[in-house]
């Protein structure tokens, strides 16, 4: 990767909650087009790190920089999108309606979808192979289908950075493979910077540029091909 200003920088960052530190002295950078796995045992602070980057949880100290700037929370939607593992309760919306919500940072103040918005929504539906359930009500979906819809919504947001918290947790082998291939394509061919929390060692070794490993209160960096099972002992 050529020299460039990192698209995301964690600078002397300490994350946790209720003054309890989970990760401290974090100094790591993510560059444009990198696919980075966030790995570690449960409870090591991975989800808290995501929420700190998104300003959902305040940092205990340090900074999160986008380029060379700290952003206000109302500026983040145009820069970064997120998919969490847990399923949210929402009713009265179709799959297409939910994916269209990803266009909110781009629509005018009346929320009217333009031809460009509709094209992006259609492309997102197609990318996740959701055509057959596009008009299905959200509350009628399986957990796996719902997860794919939330990934499609994140794609429709058209941000430069994607955060995904165990995005394949509810998916079968075929759909896991599809999501992994999609993430590789987005990073390599569309210059998306992707930070994905995962326990899939083979995916990291085969496809990820870097691994950020949360262990014993620290976040270290390895090349994806260098990560080993013993790193988690």
Q: Which residues pair with 30 in a beta bridge?
A: 8
Segment holding 124, helix H or strand E: helix 115-127
Taking the model in full, what pTM does it have?
Answer: 0.91
Q: Which residue stretches of the chain have pLDDT < 50?
A: 1-2
Alpha-carbon distance of 103 to 119, in angstroms, equals 11
Res 119: pLDDT: 95
**pLDDT at residue number 198:** 93
131-149 in b/e form (b: 16+ CB < 10 A) is eebbeeebeebeeebbbbb
The per-residue pLDDT of the chain, averaged, comes to: 91
| Closest-CA residue to 167 (of 155, 184, 189, 150) | 150
**Rg of the Cα trace of the chain?**
18
At the fourth CATH level, which superfamily is domain 8-232? P-loop containing nucleotide triphosphate hydrolases (3.40.50.300)
pLDDT value of residue 107? 75
Instruction: Round to whole Å and give the CA distance between 31 and 5.
Output: 7
**Per-domain residue ranges of the chain:** 8-232
pLDDT at position 2: 46
pLDDT score for 73: 85
Q: What is the pLDDT of residues 84-108, one digit of tens each?
A: 888 777 778 999 999 999 988 877 6
Q: What pLDDT, on a 0 to 100 scale, did the predictor assign at position 106?
A: 79
Given this model, what pLDDT does residue 108 score?
63
How far, in Å, CA of 61 to CA of 23, rounded?
A: 11
Record the tokens describing residue 221, joined without a space.
């960096």
Written as one string, the DSSP assignment of 34-97 is -EEEEEE-TTSSHHHHHHHHTTSS--SEEEEEETTB---GGGGGGTEEEE-SSPPP--S-BHHH
Residue 77: both structure tokens together: 């939607």
């Amino acid at each position: 990767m050529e020299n460039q200003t990192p698209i995301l920088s964690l600078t002397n960052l300490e994350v946790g909650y209720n003054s309890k530190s989970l990760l401290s002295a974090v100094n790591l950078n993510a560059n444009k087009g990198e696919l980075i796995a966030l790995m570690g045992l449960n409870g090591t602070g991975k989800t808290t790190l995501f929420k700190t980057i998104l300003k959902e949880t305040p940092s205990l100290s340090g900074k999160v920089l986008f380029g060379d700037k700290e952003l206000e929370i109302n500026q983040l939607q145009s820069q970064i999108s997120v998919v969490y593992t847990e399923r949210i309760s929402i009713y009265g919306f179709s799959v297409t309606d939910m994916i269209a919500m990803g266009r909110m940072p781009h629509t005018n103040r009346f929320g009217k979808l333009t031809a460009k918005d509709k094209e992006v929504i259609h492309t997102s539906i197609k990318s996740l192979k959701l055509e057959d359930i596009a008009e299905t009500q959200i509350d009628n979906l399986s957990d796996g289908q719902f997860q794919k819809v939330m990934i499609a919504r994140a794609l429709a947001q058209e941000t430069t950075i994607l955060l995904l918290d165990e995005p394949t947790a509810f998916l079968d082998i075929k759909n896991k493979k599809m999501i992994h291939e999609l993430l590789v394509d987005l990073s390599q061919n569309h210059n998306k910077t992707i930070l994905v929390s995962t326990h899939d060692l083979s995916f990291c070794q085969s496809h990820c540029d870097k691994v950020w490993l949360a262990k014993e209160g620290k976040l270290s960096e390895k090349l994806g091909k260098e990560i080993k099972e013993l790193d988690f002992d």
